[in-house]
Amino acid sequence: MFENVIVRRPARSMVEGITSAPELGRPDYTLALKQHEAYCEALRRCGVAVTVLEPLEAYPDSCFVEDTAVITRKGAIITNPGAPSRRGEAAEMLPVIRGFFPEERIFSIGAPGTLEGGDVMMVGDHFYVGRSARTNREGIAQFLAILEGMGLSGSEVPLEHVLHLKTGINYIERETMLVSGEFVDRADFASFRRIVVPEEEAYAANCIWVNDRVIVPEGYPRLEAKVRQAGYSVLTVDTSEYRKLDGGLSCLSLRF
């Protein structure tokens, strides 16, 4: 169960954020703020305390706090984002993490290693980490060594098409994963119950489990129905403006 969530309000500069889908248009900042507020309210309905950080105008993508740290039950790992324009974001997150963990339980990924939290999927005490354009072999090696030192485990998952691991697969507890695209038949996850995301709703693979509820992006009815049919209580939140920046539900928070 989660007790805390950290989020950061989007900066006005978010309209200049990184995107692989310029055809979706630039984000509407006013709408993005409203969607962020609704996201925070959904999290509170799940029974967690939400820490809301101030915007960072110098970092257009800084609302995607998940990429700046990985938080385990044993401690926190400050990342080193692979996107050069985002590397200062992790340093901004460090003092916030110090408010939750003592210094001896905070670790970090150092250059030349890169790692973004969107490539890390927690399944109990095991962490799957995607090797992507943003997370390299050295970053993964450092990450796995830190996990081992904590008494936790991890394994690498090479990615073929998606930006981040959790773009295409997400664990929603109860030995269940949402899978899409390249992950539908991946052997790494064969032992789990898998809910296949309809191809036309692939974006919705990025759902989050928070204290026995699953938050699903609004506007993806087929996947929402599948999650409900699997026995979960569902909340929906519109993330249309974050999708324009390759972002989804998990990207917007650190949950622990």
The domain that holds 201 is classified in CATH as 3.75.10.10
Report how many domains make up the chain. Answer: 1
- CA 161-164-165 angle, 5° bins: 90
What is the distance between the alpha carbons of residues 4 and 109, in angstroms, rounded to a whole number? 23
pLDDT of 64: 98
Structure tokens at 39: 């996201």
What is the distance between the alpha carbons of residues 123 and 112, in angstroms, rounded to a whole number? 27
Confidence of residue 79 (pLDDT cuts 50, 70, 90): very high
Confidence of residue 244 (pLDDT cuts 50, 70, 90): very high
Tens digits of residue pLDDT in 154-189: 999 999 999 999 999 999 999 999 999 999 999 999
% of the chain beyond a pLDDT of 70:
100
pLDDT of 203: 98
What is the distance between the alpha carbons of residues 62 and 113, in angstroms, rounded to a whole number? 20
Average of pLDDT values for 113-141?
98
Query: From the candidates 36, 40, 46, 164, which is the catalytic residue?
Result: 164
pLDDT of 198: 97
Q: Which domain holds residue 98?
A: 4-255
Structure tokens at 141: 């090696």
User: Is 126 an active-site residue?
Assistant: no
Residue with tokens 């916030």: 96
Structure tokens at 153: 């485990």
User: Is 36 an active-site residue?
Assistant: no
